[in-house]
Amino acid sequence: MIDKRYMGKVLIKNIGTLVSGDYHNAILKADAILVRNGIIEQIGNEKDLNYTDIDHEIDVQGQVVCPGFIDAHVHNTIDDYAPMSQTVNWMECYLWYGITTILSEGEQGPGYPRFFDDPIGAKAMAIAAKRIFDNFRPGGFLKFHGGALVLVHGLTEQDFKEMADAGVWLVAEIGGGGVYLPEEAVPMIRWARKYGFKISTHIGPASIPGSSPVFADIALAHSPDKYAHLNGGSTAAPWDDIKRIIDERDPKSYVEFVAVGNQKMADRIANYMGQRNELDKIIFGSDTPTGQGALPNGIQRMVMRMAAFNDIPPAQAVA
């Protein structure tokens, strides 16, 4: 990935509250951060940090400092344009709302191979999108992990090896389009795991033309790393299916809430995950920019809602 880091030494000082992004250690006892060449070098109290020859000094005047947000679920083209809503520069706009990292859940647009069960095109698109976003930082700084493969008929183990060799590591939400039935998807999932891919599965009814209904039986057969939009994208699965997924999934896997999903269901899931001491297994995505449009403050809204409606400390909601 192209390196856009600032090559110099920066001191960030007078921090009021430093949020770590670690659910289990959410607030750090520190008032300063020293950054060298774009990488955090020291965190602590300013008086204790070892620094000289600072290139830039940033006085945050007692404000809260936290890591950039991650949007774990978008549907993108290969540039900063959303054709469904005709939105220009949506990625750059997300950056200004604190989102510094985005993960694709499958590139999509008019004529894209995912909609035509085209294995050669799907493979080529995944590789091309990965390479494009390795060299393209929207807004100059946003880190975009593109090239999420949509599973379609005809993909082979050799295809997965070649994609992995080219840097592709994401399988887009299974059921969002293409292959999804376990008898067809599970062999591909095994190949993907063999070559280091991370797997996501769509949960709930069909949402767009070409998508499929995926409930507990199919989702658990996939055994993904992430159960996408468990609170609905936009319509949630029945509670019995959701509860079974939470209870029977691999405990290392994550469940995702999206900003355009069913917020009442998100609250119910959060309450149940809290009872299981698994709030650290919830992640946030926007599931945009689709028919619901772009939502640059989507992750911010999810963090605030989790804190306000579920009595989760704000610093832990950020994590």
pLDDT of res. 292: 79
Q: Which two tokens stand for residue 240?
A: 């019995």
pLDDT of res. 126: 98
- pLDDT at residue 1 is higher than 70: no
- Please report, in angstroms and rounded to a whole number, the separation of the first and last CA atoms in the chain: 25
Class of domain 9-65: mainly beta
2 pLDDT band, cuts 50/70/90, is low
Closest CA to 228 of 280, 172, 179, 185: 172
Going from N- to C-terminal start, the domains of the chain cover 9-65, 69-318
Question: What is the per-residue pLDDT across 155-201, written as a single tens digit (0 to 9) for each?
Answer: 999 999 999 999 999 999 999 999 999 999 999 999 999 999 999 99
Which contiguous run of DSSP H or E holds residue 125? helix 119-135
User: pTM of the prediction?
Assistant: 0.95
Architecture of domain 69-318: Alpha-Beta Barrel (3.20)
Report the half-sphere exposure of 220 (CA within 13 A, side-chain side): 13
Q: Which residues is 12 bridged to in the sheet?
A: 33, 58
How many residues comprise the chain? 319
Closest CA to 237 of 266, 210, 198, 271: 266
Gyration radius (Cα) of the chain, Å: 20
Q: Which two tokens stand for residue 53?
A: 């020859």
3-state SS, 152-166, equals: CCCCCHHHHHHHHHC
Higher pLDDT, 85 or 181: 181
Contact 312, 302 (CB under 8 A): no
